[in-house]
Amino acid sequence: MTPPRPPTRAGATPLRLRVLVLSLLTVAALYFLLPVYWLAVSATKSSGDLFGTFGLWFADPRPLERLGDLLRFDNHVFLRWSLNSLLYAGGGALAATLLSAAAGYALAKFPFPGRETVFNVVLAGVLLPHTVLALPLYLLFSEIGLVNTYWAVLLPSVVSPFGVYLCRIYATAAVPDSLLEAARIDGAGEARIFRTLGLRMMAPALVTVFLFQFVHIWNSFFLPLVMLSDSDLYPIQLGLTTWQGYADRQPELYQYTVGGAFLSVLPLMLLIGALQRYWRAGLTEGSVKN
Amino acid sequence: MAPPNARGPRRTGRTGHTGHADYTGRTGLTRRTGLTHRTGLTHRTGLTHRTGRARHTRSAAGFLLPFGALFLLTFVAPIAYALYESLLKPTRSGPLGLGGTGTAFAGLDNYAHALDDGLFLTGFGRVLLFAVVQIPLMLLLATALALLLDSASARWVGFFRTAYFLPYGVPGVIASILWGFLYVPGISPLVELARGVGADVDFLSQSTVLWSIANIVTWQFTGYNMLVLIAQLKSVPGELYEAARIDGASAWQTARHIKLALIRPALVLTTVFSIIGTIQLFAEPMVLKPLAPAIDSGYTPNLHAYHQAFKSNNQHAAAAEAVLIALVACVLSFGFLRLVGSQRERDR
């Protein structure tokens, strides 16, 4: 006998059941958190200690010293990669959000011939495997000389069919036609109506689109791998794989790879923990309403 | 009525009134908004639906243009270019092929070669096996966790939910590097602990490495899929559960008969996205490759295509393989949707 969301949960169910549920949830939490814990512990170790000491406990932890070593290594290349990642993910996600908002708004609020066809083409884009696009994109970009530039990664990153899909669904529901009408009567132009009314009313969806796209770009590997050969343009992920690849010849790279991995994971985890509300909002839109 | 706004005079003349005429005429919005005086505008300006619609189309085009142009550049053009490239082959002219290179029409030769390439086909077989095993396991785990967290017996729901979702924030490459360390003997506490109890495990052998990759993918995406399912569960009105409770359904029965049926659409969606993700499997085997000799250059179709393009410098073959991978992803995801659709028809 379990009511769905009772005000007082304790007492409603037998203790035995609650203990069972709690232990299952704890075992699962161990599985998901243990590797992260290992990473945090290992980020404080030297390469020697990584191999020589037990992985799940500290050995001579000097986090600040390790951090300094990591940042200074190879002319602060890790800082450069971090800034690149921030540029790709931040700039790309911001532009993608604005483009998606405009396109979704147009598809939601302007009846025009061929609207559903356009929408279906965008939807097909959602289902297309992204890495499959990267290879042809590389061939195309090398024809027009875009390969190995910031643009090679940024341009494909600002296109988010999923964002357009989400924005359309959200704008249909959240931006009332009557309000747009009233603004038109007042003599406001379409661009201004979009800027002052549309964008504001779509704000929650826009946060979700930004988050998804940010993580998508931050996590992408195949695209920068095929597009970039100059290591000064690398995002963190790509840089760390090159370190990992050389580590057996240059053992201190083990330490830097682990430390770099930990540092690169930190901001995204905070983002995910803090903004869960928006993740769930986006997932509901994405799954329920189609 | 509606004097030109001083702050936006130019646009007012262009779109303001006519857009309105179209809306009142077609959607009957005036009734809802109560601004009946606006209908007078239609008569006064004498504008027809046609011009209103044309202006709508023009405005829509303006908003769609930036996205549309880049969508054409980064989605449509590469597909078209890949199709074109896949139909060509390199040629050499002059004695001994030293007179320079060119391209010639090859028909479907590149596709025939790809489909004749044992390594490429084995890779496909491998990711299909992976999909058949890993996707159901991951979604089963995600469903179980979602139902447990949604059950009234759960405590500290917020903490557990965040803990499960956290690995989604770890990029595939980092997750692979991380688990790679947890798989390699000498550095891995897991191998050490297993040795401690007398078990000799090798996560990176010929027979185990595929499942070690499956573990990385499961670790990363279970929480994400769980969140999709929870979102769907939360969208269900509470009265439904209340009704079930009054009818005397147990927690187990509610979960089994009501909740499972309700999250079905979300399960379909997550399955389709998982299929698409699995077909593209790349980062994990690429990162584990230096650690596991069992991973060859054709371990997954994407890895094979990558090698064709960058190691063998055969971009025509790579283009054909990219097209084939997209095609398989398409067939599998639509096939699955058809399957689910026809099953639902039968259920009715």
Is B23 within the bounds of a domain? Answer: yes
| Residue A125 scores a pLDDT above 50 | yes
Contacts of A277 in chain B (CB under 8 A): none
Kindly report the nearest CA distance between residue B216 and chain A, in angstroms: 10
Shortest alpha-carbon distance between residue A75 and chain B (Å): 22
What average pLDDT does the structure give for chain A? 86
Q: What ipTM is given for this predicted complex?
A: 0.85
The residue count of chain A comes to: 290
Single-letter code of the amino acid located at A275? L
Q: Would you state the pLDDT for residue B222?
A: 96
> What mean pLDDT do residues A101-123 have?
92
Per-residue pLDDT of chain B (348 residues; tens, 9 = 90+): 333 333 333 333 333 333 333 333 333 333 333 333 444 444 444 444 556 677 788 888 999 999 999 999 999 999 999 999 999 988 876 666 666 677 888 889 999 999 999 999 999 999 999 999 999 999 999 999 999 998 877 788 888 998 999 898 888 999 998 999 899 888 888 888 888 888 888 899 989 999 999 999 999 999 999 988 988 888 777 777 778 778 877 777 777 778 888 888 889 989 998 999 999 999 999 999 988 999 999 999 999 999 999 988 888 999 999 999 999 988 988 888 888 877 777 766
Is the CB of B171 less than 8 angstroms away from the CB of A237? yes
Tokens of A2: 């379990």
Asked whether residue B275 is assigned to any structural domain, the reply reads yes
Kindly determine whether residue B173 and residue A221, on different chains, have CB atoms separated by under 8 Å. Answer: yes
| Residues B217 and B309 occupy one common structural domain | yes
Residues in A touching B171 (Cβ below 8 Å): 218-219, 221, 237, 264-265, 268
The whole-number pLDDT of residue B95 equals: 63
Task: For chain B, say whether A15 makes contact (Cβ under 8 Å).
Answer: no
Q: B238–A18: do the CB atoms touch at under 8 Å?
A: no
CA distance B345 to B332: 20
CATH number at residue B231: 1.10.3720.10
Q: Which residue has the higher pLDDT, A147 or B249?
A: A147
Contact criterion met (CB < 8 Å) for A137 and B10: no
Tokens representing residue A29 in the block: 């939490």
**Does residue B58 sit in the same domain as residue B130?**
no
The pLDDT, as a whole number, for residue B33 is 39
With cut-offs at 50, 70 and 90, classify the pLDDT of residue A137.
Answer: very high
A270 vs chain B: nearest CA distance in angstroms? 9
Collect all residues of chain B within an 8 Å Cβ-Cβ radius of residue A18. 153, 155
Confidence of residue A282 (pLDDT cuts 50, 70, 90): low
B112 within some domain: no
- Residue A219 has its nearest CB partner, among B33, B77, B172, at B172
Give me the number of domains chain B comprises: 2
CATH of the domain spanning A54-288:
1.10.3720.10
Q: Which residues of A touch B222 (CB under 8 A)?
A: 32
In a domain, B98, yes or no: no
Predicted confidence (pLDDT) at residue A7 exceeds the cutoff of 60? no
- The pTM (predicted TM-score) of the whole model is 0.82
Distance from CA of A23 to the nearest CA of B (A): 10
Interface check for A8 against chain B (CB to CB < 8 A): the answer is no
Contacts of B59 in chain A (CB under 8 A): 106, 110, 190
* B34 and B148 part of one domain: no
* Structure confidence at residue B99 (pLDDT): 61
Say if residue B16 is in the same domain as residue B132: no
- pLDDT attached to residue A290: 33
Of all residues in chain B, the one with the smallest CA distance to A39 is B178
List, for residues A220-254, the tens digit of each pLDDT value. 899 999 999 999 999 999 999 999 888 878 888 88
Give the tens place of pLDDT for each residue, A28-77. 999 999 999 999 888 888 877 877 777 778 887 778 888 888 888 888 89
Q: Which of B8, B160, B326 is closest, CB to CB, to A29?
A: B160
Give the pLDDT confidence score for residue A275 in this predicted structure.
74
For B273, the domain range is 117-347
Whether residue B101 is contained in a domain is answered as no
B191 and B281 share a domain? yes
